[in-house]
Amino acid sequence: MSTQAELIELYTADLKEKCGVAEPDMELLTKVTKGLGPSIYNNDASKVSGSDQGELDLVKNNFLIKKLGLKDSPELDTAINSVLEKYGKSNKNKYRAVVYYLLTKHFKKESVYNK
């Protein structure tokens, strides 16, 4: 099993290589990763399936609405699709921490993790 630090290195590499983020905000990435708790160590729970509508609904309801405090709107679905497109539709391993990081940045909700 990987350590949290090793996983954060993996997420950083994905942000740089697959998502085109030149300088990831390491403090935010660390907070997002810690916020996911033990799920980051579960192979299935640590990833987001971009082709599973139920999974995408969970991202929207549990993360964007409950965690980030956003109102339900078509913009949320658009943002999720945009982030998944940026990550690469053909990339099967879309790490939840990376998707959540990108969504947090997209909506400029970094302050949620500064509490």
- For residues 103 and 76, what is the distance between their CA atoms, to the nearest angstrom? 9
pLDDT in tens, the chain (115 residues): 579 999 999 999 999 999 999 999 999 999 999 999 999 999 999 999 988 999 999 999 999 999 999 999 999 999 999 999 999 988 888 999 999 999 999 999 999 998 7
Q: Are 39 and 58 in contact (CB under 8 A)?
A: no
| Amino acid of residue 42 | N
Model pTM?
0.95
